[in-house]
Amino acid sequence: MSKRERIKIFDTTLRDGEQAPGYSMNKDEKLRMARQLDRLGVDIIEAGFPIASEGDFQAVQAVAREVRRPTIAALARCCREDIERAWQALGEAAHPRIHTFLATSDIHLQHKLRISRRQCLEQARDAVKLAKSLCEDVEFSPEDATRSDSDFLCQVLEVVVEAGATTVNIPDTVGYTVPFEYAELIQTIRQRVRGIERLVISVHCHNDLGLAAANSLAAVAAGARQVECTINGIGERAGNASLEEVVMATRVRPDRYPYETAITTEQLFPSSQLLTEITGVAVQPNKAIIGRNAFAHEAGIHQDGMIKNPLTYEIMTPQSVGVPSTRLVLGKHSGRHALALRCEQLGFQFSIRELDEIYRDFIVLADLVKTVEDRHVLELIRKRHQQPLYKSAAAAQSETAPGAGTADSRVFDRAPGAQLANEKGSEQPRLFPAEHEQDDYLWGV
């Protein structure tokens, strides 16, 4: 395979992500998260908005001082005070970037900024020139780009290109666009803005319609080479494009997205967990890649497939994103194969008839509780066997290999001729004879 094109990952967890209600971080927390983002391998860390508060200024300054590999960016409005404050915060950075922005949509110009298009052009040009005089690396964002007049948007971009910007970011600030439309906008910019080929085109998508990751990937396919995103997809309102979703889409589907990133994907789940710890805000269970249920299976058909070959229902391994393992969750949708496997893991193995009896009780219980835990399974086993369940491993093994067991380990009698799936010589888990292979398509589906 020919070498894939490189996509830069611009992480704005500490800036746009932190602006979401309930996600604020102090200096020490930002520094902890920045170190983890460095381990993750992001190219650019947007550390904050220095003009916003003294605390944010100090946080950006600390990150710039201590995190040396990635570029450290600071946000600034298109005005002298913001830009100079951002540069002061970035003064000790090994690789600083000033990121300045100005709205370009008519609704923002008229109702928020109350300036004309001409004033917008002048302000954008002057701000980028000032930033460039301080810092070699300057990014410009036309806020609300996807609701801006395309002709005027291209005018603004030409002005900032001439003024010295090195990256132009095309924000879908309110999560309004859709993939095909966004790709068209990126193509229009590439075709119409003079000098754009010398710059990196970046994209920054919000998730108001649930399309942030899809829009980002569509823009990359259209020629963008930097994606702005956040861990867990946090950010204003419905959040930003999720870093883990964008990265793993390129990793899992290189046939459609032939691009590479510098991300160490095994650090995705640890990064998510650290952010949750710092903010105290849990991730939704069904969140792609890093949610609690992303690698969990309860349905009988799914569990049966996973036991036989994980590729049946998982398109990536949990370990590839830093999740310890797949979870087979026992519930009312589970089948006998998953129950049998859990029994084996607890030290028991049963005949088909015995398992049928336990399974019938299991289904009744599963209708009453959301998740069947190990203690429930053990109680079901005890209920079905009035005689003592256990005997020592030494006693059990004395029948075939005297003295081989340990006095304190316990096992359940095996069914005649049965073989545990993890025994040497077993090609794959076979919990039932061949004629019962399809049972989970009738049970617990």
Where would I find the H helices in 208-350? Answer: 212-221, 243-252, 268-279, 300-308, 336-345
On average, the pLDDT of the chain sits at 86
Give the whole-angstrom CA distance, residue 427 versus residue 445. Answer: 26
Contact in structure between 141 and 169 (CB atoms under 8 Å): yes
| Both structure tokens of 120 | 């917008």
Give the whole-angstrom CA distance, residue 154 versus residue 201. Answer: 13
Q: Structure pTM?
A: 0.81
CATH 3.20.20.70 domain span(s) along the chain: 5-279
Q: What is the DSSP letter of 235?
A: -
DSSP 3-state helix, strand, coil percentages of the chain (rounded to 5)?
45, 15, 40
* pLDDT tens readout for residues 354-411: 888 888 888 888 888 888 888 888 888 888 765 444 433 333 343 334 333 333 322 2
* pLDDT tens readout for residues 42-56: 999 999 999 999 999
Q: What are the φ and ψ backbone dihedral angles of 241, each rounded to 5 degrees?
A: -55, 135
pLDDT at 116 over 90: yes
Give the whole-angstrom CA distance, residue 110 versus residue 190. Answer: 27
Distance of CA 361 to the CA centre of its chain: 38
Contact in structure between 333 and 296 (CB atoms under 8 Å): no
Residues 6+ apart with CB under 8 A from 208: 174, 175, 176, 237, 238
Strands 226-229 and 167-172: unpaired
Give the whole-angstrom CA distance, residue 167 versus residue 202. Answer: 7
Q: What are the φ and ψ backbone dihedral angles of 38, each rounded to 5 degrees?
A: -65, -45
Give the whole-angstrom CA distance, residue 55 versus residue 25. Answer: 10
* pLDDT tens readout for residues 176-234: 999 999 999 999 999 999 999 999 999 999 999 999 999 999 999 999 999 999 999 99
Q: What is the mean pLDDT of residues 267-280?
A: 96
What is the pLDDT at residue 344? 84
**CA distances from residue 63 to 24, 31, 92, 274, 305 in whole angstroms, order as listed:** 16, 6, 9, 17, 46
Identify the burial level of 66 via C-beta atoms within 10 angstroms of its C-beta, where 0-12 means exposed, 13-18 middle and 19 or more buried.
middle
Which CATH architecture does the domain made up of 5-279 adopt? Alpha-Beta Barrel (3.20)
pLDDT at 311 over 70: yes
Where does the pLDDT of residue 2 fall: very low under 50, low under 70, confident under 90, or very high at 90 and above?
Answer: low
**CA distances from residue 133 to 130, 196, 201, 294, 420 in whole angstroms, order as listed:** 5, 20, 21, 47, 71
